[in-house]
């Protein structure tokens, strides 16, 4: 029962995060929204470490791990906040669905992982075609949409690069400690960015929706969702966990249309189908042939 609840929590959190991100920066400067989100998660996470007596490593390997994590939490997340001003939350989630593919390519190049199979190469090609369809459709709907697409692609690059670098750090650490340590690095970056880019604090103009979204992202998006993800990763097969990256874009697009009046065009549906199909094919790997000589396929998680 606990595993099922954790799994559903991850799906819900990942599906609602893009919309929460867009709402949180409606009336709050993106850098301040990011800082408040990090600060909330940092405070609650630190309290959790104290209660459950979880150690927070401060040696060089631990510090390197936090620094690598901050590439995604700051570079990737801040770019996502900026992208929210130009594209819909559904499109943001859809592009993020390609992160396992980009992570796999980087791992092959930087970590000397096995050569990409034909299935993976075909999957990558299909996903890129889908991304091109979505990109062209977004530009047709809004002349500034290309800025959002460039920003969100850069955000995915940051998160994927961060994930690959994290793999190079051999350390035994609790996921909650990783979260808190990473936010200790990231929160000051948001604060400095806010000071340089804005420096004002017009609290009276903040909408209730933005404030509630920041609270939601701080508690669920940056803390509970992260812990639940690592929990299911430990308890379930990687193939089952990999299905999350294919489900969340669909839910995010539907939520955006329902709650934020975002437009779903035919090209968006076609492009989304191509991206998800390419991701599904990429996640498969060829196994040894079965007794009848037929190839067996199995999902493979690359996050």
pLDDT in tens, 175-195: 889 889 999 999 999 999 999
pLDDT in tens, 264-284: 999 999 999 999 999 888 887
Q: How would you label 115-153 residue by residue, b for 16+ Cβ within 10 Å and e otherwise?
A: ebeebbeebbebbebbbebbbebbeeeeeebebbbebbb
Residues in Cβ contact with 58 at an 8 Å cutoff, skipping those fewer than 6 apart: none
CB atoms inside a 10 Å sphere around CB 188:
14
Average pLDDT over residues 159-166: 90
Q: Are 37 and 88 in contact (CB under 8 A)?
A: no
Distances (CA, A) of 168 to 56, 223, 227: 19, 23, 21
CA distance 135 to 150: 9
CB atoms inside a 10 Å sphere around CB 257:
16
* pTM of the predicted model as reported, rounded to 2 decimal places: 0.88
Q: Which helix (H) or strand (E) holds 179?
A: helix 175-197
**Does residue 160 register a pLDDT over 60?**
yes
CA distance 67 to 73: 10
pLDDT band at 295 (very low <50, low <70, confident <90, very high): very low
Among all chains, which residue has been given the structure tokens 């919309």? 19
Mean pLDDT of the chain: 88
**Does residue 287 register a pLDDT over 90?**
no
Least confident span in 5-19, 31-45, 139-153, 236-250:
236-250
Predicted local distance difference test score (pLDDT) of residue 239: 62
**Does residue 97 register a pLDDT over 90?**
no
**Does residue 288 register a pLDDT over 60?**
no
- For the chain, the distance separating the N- and C-terminal CA atoms, rounded to the nearest angstrom, is 25
Q: Are 48 and 54 in contact (CB under 8 A)?
A: yes
Rounded to 5 degrees, φ, ψ at 298 are: -145, 140
**Beta bridge mates, 286:** 297
Predicted local distance difference test score (pLDDT) of residue 285: 63
Q: Are 98 and 217 in contact (CB under 8 A)?
A: no
């Amino acid at each position: 029962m606990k595993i099922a609840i954790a799994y559903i929590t991850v799906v819900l959190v990942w599906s609602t995060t893009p919309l929460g991100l867009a709402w949180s920066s409606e009336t709050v400067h993106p850098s301040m929204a990011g800082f408040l989100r990090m600060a909330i998660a940092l405070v609650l996470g630190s309290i959790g470490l104290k209660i459950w007596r979880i150690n927070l490593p401060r040696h060089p390997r631990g510090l390197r791990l936090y620094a690598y994590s901050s590439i995604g939490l700051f570079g990737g997340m801040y770019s996502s906040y900026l992208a929210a001003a130009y594209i819909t939350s559904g499109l943001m989630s859809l592009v993020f669905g390609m992160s396992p593919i980009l992570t796999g390519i980087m791992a092959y190049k930087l970590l000397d992982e096995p050569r990409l199979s034909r299935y993976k190469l075909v999957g990558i090609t299909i996903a890129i075609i889908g991304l091109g369809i979505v990109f062209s459709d977004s530009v047709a709907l809004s002349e500034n949409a290309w800025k959002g697409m460039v920003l969100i692609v850069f955000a995915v690059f940051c998160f994927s690069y961060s994930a690959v670098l994290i793999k190079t750090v051999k350390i035994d650490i609790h996921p909650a400690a990783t979260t808190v340590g990473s936010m200790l690095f990231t929160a000051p970056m948001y604060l400095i960015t806010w000071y340089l880019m804005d420096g004002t604090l017009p609290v009276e103009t903040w909408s209730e929706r933005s404030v509630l979204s920041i609270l939601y992202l701080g508690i669920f998006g940056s803390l509970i969702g992260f812990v639940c993800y690592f929990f299911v990763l430990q308890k379930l097969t990687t193939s089952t966990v990999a299905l999350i990256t294919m489900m969340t874009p669909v839910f995010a697009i539907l939520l955006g249309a329902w709650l934020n009046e975002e437009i779903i065009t035919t090209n968006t549906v076609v492009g989304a189908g191509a991206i998800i199909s390419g991701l599904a094919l990429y996640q498969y790997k060829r196994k040894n042939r079965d007794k009848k000589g037929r190839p067996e396929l199995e999902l493979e998680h690359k996050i």
